Homo-oligomer: A and B are copies of this chain.
């Protein structure tokens, strides 16, 4: 007869999570406040117009992270509910944690941190890195392990973002390098550290069915539709934001078409594999982030989108099995193919764009 499981580990998650939420609450009580009410009518109009310009994009990004990414991760049957719940819990945990951290680190004016929609947006971006990274260990890590990963990754993200953007001065409006490349290699490192030794066989729960693939594709489509909002949210209003939206749309459109082409050519039976479409369609959005707001010609956005879809599909076909075989590195959702390779491609494109651009192109 099997022994009943010990009671303590089951209580570890809720107790530590509850303590963490309590500590965050304390930090909010001590340090956070809202902006003072605007004294003059002009200031009221300014605040209102900031909300009208930022809030729709913020909501688009929330839909992406909560619904789109959650469904994309639901491709394992019998694991969909957990994937969606864990994604949702991690987002909320990481977002509050990032709010507190960035409040204490960056915005410490006169003892009180002034909270606004912009600070929530940047906290959301920090939380995205966690959601991407855990894709590598989806369905294998316990909720406690996921929370530890989140607690560690957020401060490291802020440090790396400070190094890349503030110290090195790299332009990265869509987070290609700071978010996608960073979180991909962080996640692969975590996967290696936690599960590197074991050569696990593929679990039967891990082969997608028609209906789980359908849900996952719906998640892809939601991410695909709202990706331009993600890239454009932190852009300079005006021409730069307009270009960011258009470039992202073009790159993702080329990406979707090319993913179908590449997948059909690579597979022996000529059939499109759902995972290639689910990930390849989004690869263009990852790559374009670094150059989206620059005055690059539209054709280069299309070309970058196509190229990243090819790289992503090739990664799924050849690199993932190779990494699993040679390095015993398991990458459950293929984050290296969706975030790593297209992110590196985007970084390369950014170098080319800076070198090729006339001197004043990024000023407007």
Q: Are B213 and A81 in contact (CB under 8 A)?
A: yes
Query: In the complex, A24 Cα to B299 Cα: how many Å?
Result: 9
Stretch at the interface among A154-162, A175-183, A263-271, A347-355: A263-271
Of the candidates B116, B210, B257, which one forms a contact with A92 in the assembled complex, judged by CB atoms under 8 Å apart? B257
Query: In the complex, A120 Cα to B218 Cα: how many Å?
Result: 23
Q: Are A89 and B257 in contact (CB under 8 A)?
A: yes
If A214-B80, A260-B14 touch, does A225 touch B62 (CB 8 Å cutoff)? yes
Q: Are B299 and A67 in contact (CB under 8 A)?
A: no
A212 to chain B, nearest CB (A): 9
A174-215, CB < 8 A from B:
210-211, 213-215
Of the candidates B80, B264, B306, B363, which one forms a contact with A210 in the assembled complex, judged by CB atoms under 8 Å apart? B80
0/1 string, A49-81, CB within 8 A of B gives 1: 001110110011011001100110010001011
Q: Are B261 and A32 in contact (CB under 8 A)?
A: no
| Number of residues from A at the complex interface, CB < 8 A | 100
Q: What copy number does this chain have within its complex? A: 3
Query: In the complex, A33 Cα to B24 Cα: how many Å?
Result: 49
Q: Which residues of B contact A298 (CB under 8 A)?
A: 28, 32-34, 115
Q: Are A89 and B10 in contact (CB under 8 A)?
A: no
A306-364, CB < 8 A from B:
306, 363-364
Q: Are A47 and B238 in contact (CB under 8 A)?
A: yes
Q: Which residues of B contact A60 (CB under 8 A)?
A: 59
Known: A18-B261, A47-B239, A85-B260. 18 other contacts (CB 8 A): A17-B257, A25-B254, A25-B299, A33-B298, A52-B56, A55-B56, A59-B60, A66-B221, A67-B225, A80-B211, A81-B213, A88-B224, A88-B277, A89-B260, A92-B253, A92-B254, A115-B298, A116-B242
Chain A residues with CB under 8 Å of chain B are: 10-11, 13-15, 17-18, 21, 24-25, 28-29, 32-35, 37-38, 44-45, 47-48, 51-53, 55-56, 59-60, 62-63, 66-67, 70-71, 74, 78, 80-81, 84-85, 88-89, 92-93, 95-96, 115-117, 120, 210-211, 213-215, 217-218, 221-222, 224-226, 228-229, 237-239, 241-243, 245-246, 249-250, 253-254, 256-258, 260-262, 264-265, 269-270, 272, 274, 277, 281, 295, 297-299, 302-303, 306, 363-364
Shortest Cβ-Cβ A-B pairs, 4 listed: A10-B270, A37-B364, A29-B299, A44-B238
Q: List 22 A-B contacts (CB under 8 A).
A: A10-B270, A14-B261, A17-B257, A17-B261, A18-B261, A18-B265, A21-B258, A24-B302, A25-B299, A34-B242, A35-B239, A35-B242, A37-B239, A37-B364, A51-B245, A55-B56, A63-B225, A70-B221, A80-B214, A84-B218, A88-B256, A92-B256
